[in-house]
Chain A
Amino acid sequence: MDGNDQTCPKCKTTKYRNPAMILMVNACGHALCESCVELLFAKGSGACPECKCALRRQNFRIQLFEDPAVDKEVDIRKRILKEFNKRQEDFSTLREYNDYLEEVENIIFNLVFDVDSTNTNKMIDNYKKENKDITMKNRNRQSQEEIELEELLEAEKAQQSEKANSYVNAELEEKKQKHKAREKLIDELMFSDADAKSIVASHVQATAALAKEQPKAAAQAGGPVVKSSKFSSGIQIGLRQNTSSFLPIPKQQDLPLFHYSAPVFDYNGPSPPAIEVLGKLKYFANIRAANATERAGGYTEALSCCRALQEAMGGLFYIPQSGHKTAVAASAEETDDMETA
Chain B
Amino acid sequence: MKLNVDGLLVYFPYDYIYPEQFSYMLELKHALDAKGHCLLEMPSGTGKTTTLLSLIVAYMKAHPLDLTKLVYCSRTVPEIEKVMEELRKLMNYYEKEMGMEQNILGLALSSRKNLCIHPSVSKEREGKVVDGRCYGLTASFVRARHAGDDAVPVCNFYEGFDAHGKEFPLPPGVYNLDDLKEYGQAKGWCPYFLARYTITHANIVVYSYHYLLDPKIAEVVSKEISKTSVVVFDEAHNIDNVCIDSMSVKITKRLLDKCSNSIQILETTISNMKENDNRRLEKEYQRLVEGLRDANIARETDMALVNPVLPSEILEEAVPGTIRTAEHFVAFLKRVVEYIKTRLRVQHVVQESPAGFLRDIHIKVCIDRKPLRFTAERLSSLIRTLEISDLTDFSPLVTVSHFATLVSTYTKGFTIIIEPFEDRAPTVSNPILYFSCLDSSIAIKPVFNRFQTVVITSGTLSPLDMYPKILDFHPVIMTSFTMTLARPCILPMIVSKGNDQVAMSSRYETREDTAVIRNYGNLLVEVAAAVPDGIVCFFTSYLYLETIVSSWYDQGIIDQLQRHKLLFIETQDAAETSLALINYIKACDNGRGAVLLSVARGKVSEGIDFDHHLGRAVLMFGIPYVYTQSRILRARLEYLRDQFQIRENDFLTFDAMRHAAQCLGRCMRGKTDYGIMILADKRFSRADKRSKLPKWIQEHLKDTNCNLSTEECVQISKRWLRQMAQPFSREDQLGISLLTLEQLQSEEMQKKIQQRAQAA
Q: B-contacting residues of A (Cβ < 8 Å)?
A: 1-3, 64-67, 70, 73-74, 77-78, 81, 94-95, 97-106, 109, 112, 145-146, 149-150, 152-153, 156, 159, 163, 215, 218-219, 222-224
Interfacial chain A residues near B331, Cβ < 8 Å: 73, 109, 112
In the complex, what distance in Å separates the CA atom of A74 from the CA atom of B366? 7
Q: A66-B341, A74-B365, A145-B370 are in contact. Are A109 and B411 (CB under 8 A)?
A: no
Interfacial chain A residues near B335, Cβ < 8 Å: 70, 73-74
Interfacial chain A residues near B319, Cβ < 8 Å: 98
In the complex, what distance in Å separates the CA atom of A95 from the CA atom of B290? 9
Contact of B647 among A70, A159, A215 (CB under 8 A): A215
11 example contacts (A-B, Cβ-Cβ < 8 A) are as follows: A1-B429, A3-B345, A65-B338, A66-B338, A95-B318, A98-B321, A102-B321, A105-B324, A145-B368, A149-B369, A223-B645
The chain A residue with its CB closest to the CB of B641 is A222
Interfacial chain A residues near B641, Cβ < 8 Å: 222
In the assembled complex, the CB of B416 is this many whole angstroms from the nearest CB of chain A, namely 13
Interfacial chain B residues near A70, Cβ < 8 Å: 334-335, 338, 365
10 shortest A-B CB distances, which residue pairs?
Answer: A101-B321, A98-B321, A102-B321, A222-B645, A152-B355, A65-B338, A70-B338, A219-B645, A105-B328, A101-B322
The chain A residue with its CB closest to the CB of B344 is A2
Contact of B318 among A98, A112, A223 (CB under 8 A): A98
Query: Contact at B321–A105, with CB atoms within 8 Å?
Result: yes
B294-325 vs A, Cβ < 8 Å mask (1 yes, 0 no): 00000000000000000000000111111011
Whether, in the assembled complex, B567 has its beta carbon less than 8 Å from a beta carbon of chain A, the answer is no
B362-394 vs A, Cβ < 8 Å mask (1 yes, 0 no): 101110111000000000000000000000000
Interfacial chain A residues near B317, Cβ < 8 Å: 94
Query: Contact at A145–B328, with CB atoms within 8 Å?
Result: no
Interfacial chain B residues near A149, Cβ < 8 Å: 355, 358-359, 362, 369
In the assembled complex, the CB of A179 is this many whole angstroms from the nearest CB of chain B, namely 20
In the complex, what distance in Å separates the CA atom of A267 from the CA atom of B361? 69
Query: Contact at A109–B338, with CB atoms within 8 Å?
Result: no
The size of the chain B interface, using a CB distance under 8 A, is: 41
Whether, in the assembled complex, B253 has its beta carbon less than 8 Å from a beta carbon of chain A, the answer is yes
Interfacial chain B residues near A156, Cβ < 8 Å: 353, 355
Main secondary structure of the interface of A (DSSP, over half): helix
Interfacial chain A residues near B355, Cβ < 8 Å: 149, 152-153, 156
Query: Contact at A65–B366, with CB atoms within 8 Å?
Result: no
Query: Contact at A98–B289, with CB atoms within 8 Å?
Result: yes
In the assembled complex, the CB of A82 is this many whole angstroms from the nearest CB of chain B, namely 10
Interfacial chain A residues near B359, Cβ < 8 Å: 146, 149-150, 153
In the assembled complex, the CB of B16 is this many whole angstroms from the nearest CB of chain A, namely 44
Query: Contact at A224–B642, with CB atoms within 8 Å?
Result: yes
The chain A residue with its CB closest to the CB of B411 is A152
In the assembled complex, the CB of A239 is this many whole angstroms from the nearest CB of chain B, namely 20
Whether, in the assembled complex, B342 has its beta carbon less than 8 Å from a beta carbon of chain A, the answer is yes
In the assembled complex, the CB of B119 is this many whole angstroms from the nearest CB of chain A, namely 43
Whether, in the assembled complex, B712 has its beta carbon less than 8 Å from a beta carbon of chain A, the answer is no
Query: Contact at A163–B366, with CB atoms within 8 Å?
Result: no
Main secondary structure of the interface of B (DSSP, over half): helix
In the assembled complex, the CB of B627 is this many whole angstroms from the nearest CB of chain A, namely 23
Interfacial chain B residues near A66, Cβ < 8 Å: 338, 341-342
Interfacial chain A residues near B362, Cβ < 8 Å: 146, 149
Whether, in the assembled complex, B356 has its beta carbon less than 8 Å from a beta carbon of chain A, the answer is yes
Q: A-contacting residues of B (Cβ < 8 Å)?
A: 253, 260, 289, 317-322, 324-325, 327-328, 331, 334-335, 338-339, 341-342, 344-345, 353, 355-356, 358-359, 362, 364-366, 368-370, 411, 429, 431, 641-642, 645, 647
In the assembled complex, the CB of B654 is this many whole angstroms from the nearest CB of chain A, namely 14
Query: Contact at B341–A101, with CB atoms within 8 Å?
Result: no
Interfacial chain B residues near A163, Cβ < 8 Å: 642
In the complex, what distance in Å separates the CA atom of A217 from the CA atom of B634? 23
Query: Contact at B324–A218, with CB atoms within 8 Å?
Result: no
In the complex, what distance in Å separates the CA atom of A97 from the CA atom of B324? 12
In the complex, what distance in Å separates the CA atom of A224 from the CA atom of B645? 10
Interface centre among B289, B319, B321, B355, by most chain A C-beta atoms within 10 angstroms, is B321
Query: Contact at A102–B322, with CB atoms within 8 Å?
Result: yes
Contact of B325 among A78, A97, A102, A222 (CB under 8 A): A102
The chain A residue with its CB closest to the CB of B358 is A149
The chain A residue with its CB closest to the CB of B325 is A102
Interfacial chain A residues near B334, Cβ < 8 Å: 67, 70
Query: Contact at B369–A218, with CB atoms within 8 Å?
Result: no
In the complex, what distance in Å separates the CA atom of A156 from the CA atom of B413? 12
Query: Contact at B345–A74, with CB atoms within 8 Å?
Result: no
Interfacial chain B residues near A78, Cβ < 8 Å: 366
Interfacial chain B residues near A222, Cβ < 8 Å: 641-642, 645
Query: Contact at A98–B320, with CB atoms within 8 Å?
Result: yes
In the complex, what distance in Å separates the CA atom of A232 from the CA atom of B321? 38
In the assembled complex, the CB of B692 is this many whole angstroms from the nearest CB of chain A, namely 15
The chain B residue with its CB closest to the CB of A66 is B341
In the complex, what distance in Å separates the CA atom of A255 from the CA atom of B163? 64
Interfacial chain B residues near A81, Cβ < 8 Å: 366
The chain B residue with its CB closest to the CB of A153 is B355
In the complex, what distance in Å separates the CA atom of A210 from the CA atom of B429? 49
Query: Contact at A100–B429, with CB atoms within 8 Å?
Result: no
In the complex, what distance in Å separates the CA atom of A79 from the CA atom of B260? 26
In the complex, what distance in Å separates the CA atom of A70 from the CA atom of B330? 12
In the assembled complex, the CB of A4 is this many whole angstroms from the nearest CB of chain B, namely 10
Query: Contact at A97–B321, with CB atoms within 8 Å?
Result: yes
Query: Contact at A105–B325, with CB atoms within 8 Å?
Result: yes
Interface centre among A77, A81, A100, A152, by most chain B C-beta atoms within 10 angstroms, is A152
In the complex, what distance in Å separates the CA atom of A146 from the CA atom of B360? 11
The chain A residue with its CB closest to the CB of B288 is A98
Query: Contact at B429–A67, with CB atoms within 8 Å?
Result: no
In the assembled complex, the CB of A336 is this many whole angstroms from the nearest CB of chain B, namely 53
Interfacial chain B residues near A64, Cβ < 8 Å: 342, 364
The chain B residue with its CB closest to the CB of A94 is B318
In the assembled complex, the CB of B325 is this many whole angstroms from the nearest CB of chain A, namely 7
In the complex, what distance in Å separates the CA atom of A284 from the CA atom of B344? 95
In the complex, what distance in Å separates the CA atom of A215 from the CA atom of B641? 12
Query: Contact at B345–A2, with CB atoms within 8 Å?
Result: yes
The chain A residue with its CB closest to the CB of B341 is A66
In the complex, what distance in Å separates the CA atom of A36 from the CA atom of B157? 63
Contact of B327 among A94, A109, A146, A219 (CB under 8 A): A109
The chain B residue with its CB closest to the CB of A163 is B642
In the complex, what distance in Å separates the CA atom of A220 from the CA atom of B359? 33
Query: Contact at B358–A218, with CB atoms within 8 Å?
Result: no
In the assembled complex, the CB of A241 is this many whole angstroms from the nearest CB of chain B, namely 14
In the assembled complex, the CB of B268 is this many whole angstroms from the nearest CB of chain A, namely 15
The chain A residue with its CB closest to the CB of B642 is A163
In the assembled complex, the CB of B326 is this many whole angstroms from the nearest CB of chain A, namely 11
In the complex, what distance in Å separates the CA atom of A163 from the CA atom of B638? 10
Interfacial chain B residues near A159, Cβ < 8 Å: 642
Interfacial chain B residues near A99, Cβ < 8 Å: 321
Interfacial chain A residues near B338, Cβ < 8 Å: 65-67, 70
Interfacial chain A residues near B368, Cβ < 8 Å: 145
In the assembled complex, the CB of A182 is this many whole angstroms from the nearest CB of chain B, namely 20
Interfacial chain B residues near A105, Cβ < 8 Å: 321-322, 324-325, 328
In the complex, what distance in Å separates the CA atom of A106 from the CA atom of B325? 9
Interfacial chain B residues near A150, Cβ < 8 Å: 359
